[in-house]
Structure 1
Amino acid sequence: MENQDPAVVDAIKASGESTLEKANAKAKTKFDQFINISLNIAVTGKTGSGKSSFVNALRGLQDDDEGAAPTGVTETTMVPAMYEHPEMPNVKLWDLPGIGSPNFKAKKYLKDVNFKTYDFFIILNSERFTEHDIMLAKEIRKQKKSFYFVRSKIDNDINSEKMKKGFDEQKVLSIIREDCQKNLKELGDPKVFLISSCHLEKYDFESLQNTLEDELPEHKKDALLQAWPVCSDACLEKKINMFKLMIWAVSLASAAVAVIPLPGLSAACDVVMVVSFLTRCYYAFGLDERSLTRLSEKVNKPHLKDLAKSKLVTAIREKALARLQASAALAGISAVEYLLSLVPVVGSVAAAGISFATTQYLLREGVNDLANTARVIRKEAGLTFVY
């Protein structure tokens, strides 16, 4: 490695491998997993508990958006309904039929909804958890998969309690949590997450995310974090860190770095990989038009969308990068130069040619550009807190 570019040597070290050849192979595997690994989340529970609204919230959609899971006061899900994440189709959410029927049998239910499809189950209820919820959890545990109890529509409970004298929100939440856990004692006192699908930034939504991250395999965790809505500063910073930690892999996977280096040899840049990575970053940070529109309406600040105006953000929004990706095979060096021009600070580095180090620097500065834009928007929205 002594004759190699120091940036390549650093990337090999980051890979944990001993040779460039092994590091290249690992980088390609990691990039493929990062973009394509499947994550299937099953959402089930009592009819009318808000399963469809929860599925929509996880997909960054409102109930009346195009492509949203249908909601209603009666059971709208009669068979398992699969909904892809709008921007990350490898993440799929399954809205399963309600489990409140008198003839409910957990074993048969899991067979009917194709149990093996899902990575884990969210068991949802808007009231107390029932014997059906417990029966289902026991059967899921017996078949060695994970389940998580989510108490939904917490905002409705809080709003109704606000009318009472001496209202204390934390006390109300404690009472609800204790009531839920009391009914689940025979399962070993599992954690219950209190959620509002309308207000993801409140209550236990972030705690649910943290728990899922802790218990999922590494590659599945990356899929979850990419698709999970930005519900706090801490969530955003986790996403930023995840993308930064992937830069070594994308740099190696996208650059045709020779195993036996030749002096002065520049690396070709696979524009498709770089564009896919930065576009994923853009959506994961909530910089797409739909996410910004929803946020601006929520905080009543229409000008928030105008803050996402860096050249890179604009290029992704206007599909300029998608067109570049489609023509990457023909674009050659000019495609890379276009990418470099979107992040001004990269210009001086690029002057020496499209080397591996330049590709790596482009990715680093591109992620920083998108991350800083997302931070500015959250601050202007009044959502920035000190942790």
Structure 2
Amino acid sequence: MADVLKSLNLLETLKESMEKNNISDIRDAMEDMLISRINIAVAGDRSAEKASFINSLRGLGQNDEGAAYVPPSAAPEELAVFPNPKHPDFRLWDLPSIPSNSCFEAEKYIERFKILRYNAVIITFTESPSVNSVAVWREARSLQKETVYFVLLASMKDTEKTLEMKKIASLEVLKAEGVPLPKVFLVYPSALEKLDFSKFLEVMRGDLPEIRAHALLLALPAFSNSLIHQKKDAFKALVWAAASLSGGVSAIPVPLVASMVDATVALRILMKAQISLCLDDDSLLRLARQRGLDPSRLKGLRTCALSVEVSKSEVKRRLAEAEKETNTASKRLVELAMPRHARSVSRSFMVMLQALNTAIDDMGADAEKVVAMVTDGSPF
């Protein structure tokens, strides 16, 4: 798989790919982002906090269909997999508890549960990390697995003071076990907008390959304005890829054919955006149930038609509107983004760019309103 997405600023990358006629590279990158394929392992004792954490990462509450629960259905020594109901290629793997006995061998645990195959491994605990969990971390790092993290899960009985004490104690354990520059992220399992999860996400995304970082971002529930802004940026990167493909397929203009292709691609991107921003009916119903709100209040916040339903007619309407409204500024943007020989086929590029970016902004605004109501306007 060609990784053409090195950063969210795709102007130079797309220009280079188009100059080399590497349309397949751009198409591969776009497909990979739309699929959101990523596998994350969650190690640690199978507690209520761990189950809640796994559920929250998938936008589920403990009473939702498909939720992880305690006691788990899997045997203590078996792993369990929990796909995201809206993004089935985002899978969370619940690894069995790391044994506490003195004869524990970290390399055998890593080999048995295929630790190296996951994109990231999160070692969770509710008090402090065990010596054996640190051994797993150390062995994984020795095998060049960099994306392994320690997460302290807060429980309902914890207070701000007890959490701070636990975090300090956990760091001391890691230091005593020889972990250089130890990091412990404090996470409230059922409310990811609180504590250190945003910081943890930023670190993890920085460690992952760009495509996997995008996959993780797009599959997580939209729980804060900051995350919504990041999702919008990621979708606009995806729009650049789609618009460049649109320009490519329009190189030999055939009446109606290019616009049909544009509408199909645009439909897929905006359907993904609606789900990623948690604006679809199912996501809002679950969110309302989890937060004790009237679902109709959340649904009523959607003022963009695409937030309610991503229909082909609405997508085509927006593409037609963008074609009429393409202005000088947009043309100048295309001149910067497109190689000289491709500017003659830039009309479709401009239309896709303008129509989809405006749609992403409109849907993002609705998502921000939902977050504000759910969190009662609290800062992030």
TM-score (norm 2): 0.80
Do 1:85 and 1:92's aligned partners in 2 also have CA atoms closer than 8 Å? yes
The answer as to 2:319 corresponding to 1:340 is no
Could you tell me which of 307, 315, 330 is aligned with 1:313?
307
Q: Report the counterpart of residue 107 of structure 2 in structure 1.
A: 107
Q: What pairs with 1:235-314 in structure 2 (closer than 5 Å)? A: 235-254=227-246, 257-259=249-251, 267-270=258-261, 271-297=263-289, 299-302=291-294, 303-314=297-308
Whole-angstrom CA distance in 2 between matches of 1:308 and 1:265: 32
Could you tell me which of 219, 222, 225 is aligned with 1:233?
225
Do 1:255 and 1:268's aligned partners in 2 also have CA atoms closer than 8 Å? no
The alignment's C-alpha RMSD in Å is 3.1
Q: Report the counterpart of residue 375 of structure 1 in structure 2.
A: 368
C-alpha change, 1:18 and 1:152, in structure 2 (3 Å) is: closer
Q: Report the counterpart of residue 147 of structure 1 in structure 2.
A: 148
Whole-angstrom CA distance in 2 between matches of 1:202 and 1:37: 25
Whole-angstrom CA distance in 1 between matches of 2:319 and 2:366: 13
> Relative contact order, CA 8 A, sep 6+: which one is greater?
2
Q: Report the counterpart of residue 157 of structure 2 in structure 1.
A: 156
Q: Secondary structure at the match of 2:51?
A: helix
Do 1:311 and 1:343's aligned partners in 2 also have CA atoms closer than 8 Å? no
| Unpaired runs of at least 5, structure 2 | 1-8, 327-346
Q: Report the counterpart of residue 119 of structure 1 in structure 2.
A: 119
Whole-angstrom CA distance in 2 between matches of 1:291 and 1:258: 36
Whole-angstrom CA distance in 1 between matches of 2:144 and 2:23: 35
Q: What pairs with 1:215-234 in structure 2 (closer than 5 Å)? A: 215-234=207-226
Whole-angstrom CA distance in 1 between matches of 2:189 and 2:60: 10
For 1:142-182, what per-residue CA distance to the aligned partner results, in whole angstroms no more than 9, with x for missing partners?
A: 11112100111344312xxxxxxxxxx3x443322111111
C-alpha change, 1:273 and 1:295, in structure 2 (3 Å) is: same
For 1:109-161, what per-residue CA distance to the aligned partner results, in whole angstroms no more than 9, with x for missing partners?
A: 11111223211210011112111111111111111112100111344312xxx
Do 1:11 and 1:248's aligned partners in 2 also have CA atoms closer than 8 Å? yes
Do 1:41 and 1:92's aligned partners in 2 also have CA atoms closer than 8 Å? yes
Q: Secondary structure at the match of 1:82?
A: strand
Do 1:286 and 1:292's aligned partners in 2 also have CA atoms closer than 8 Å? yes
The answer as to 2:41 corresponding to 1:42 is yes
C-alpha change, 1:134 and 1:253, in structure 2 (3 Å) is: same
- Structure 1 stretch 78-87 or stretch 290-299: which is displaced more? 290-299
Q: Report the counterpart of residue 69 of structure 1 in structure 2.
A: 68
C-alpha change, 1:12 and 1:89, in structure 2 (3 Å) is: same
Do 1:27 and 1:249's aligned partners in 2 also have CA atoms closer than 8 Å? yes
Could you tell me which of 359, 366, 377 is aligned with 2:359?
366
Q: What pairs with 1:2-13 in structure 2 (closer than 5 Å)? A: none
Whole-angstrom CA distance in 2 between matches of 1:344 and 1:68: 42
- Structure 1 stretch 202-211 or stretch 21-30: which is displaced more? 21-30
Whole-angstrom CA distance in 1 between matches of 2:72 and 2:17: 59
Whole-angstrom CA distance in 2 between matches of 1:376 and 1:98: 40
Whole-angstrom CA distance in 1 between matches of 2:258 and 2:19: 14
Q: Secondary structure at the match of 2:43?
A: strand
* Offset at residue 229 of structure 1 (A): 2.4
Do 1:193 and 1:208's aligned partners in 2 also have CA atoms closer than 8 Å? yes
Q: Report the counterpart of residue 165 of structure 1 in structure 2.
A: none
For 1:191-242, what per-residue CA distance to the aligned partner results, in whole angstroms no more than 9, with x for missing partners?
A: 1011121121111111111110111111111011111222321111111111
* Offset at residue 49 of structure 1 (A): 6.8
C-alpha change, 1:68 and 1:77, in structure 2 (3 Å) is: farther
Whole-angstrom CA distance in 1 between matches of 2:152 and 2:34: 31
The answer as to 2:179 corresponding to 1:187 is yes
Q: Report the counterpart of residue 32 of structure 1 in structure 2.
A: 31
Q: Secondary structure at the match of 2:150?
A: strand
User: 1:308 corresponds to which letter in structure 2?
Assistant: R
User: 1:153 corresponds to which letter in structure 2?
Assistant: A
Whole-angstrom CA distance in 1 between matches of 2:322 and 2:148: 46
User: 1:375 corresponds to which letter in structure 2?
Assistant: E
% same residue:
27
User: 1:239 corresponds to which letter in structure 2?
Assistant: K
Q: Secondary structure at the match of 2:300?
A: helix
Q: Report the counterpart of residue 339 of structure 2 in structure 1.
A: none
Q: Report the counterpart of residue 16 of structure 2 in structure 1.
A: 17
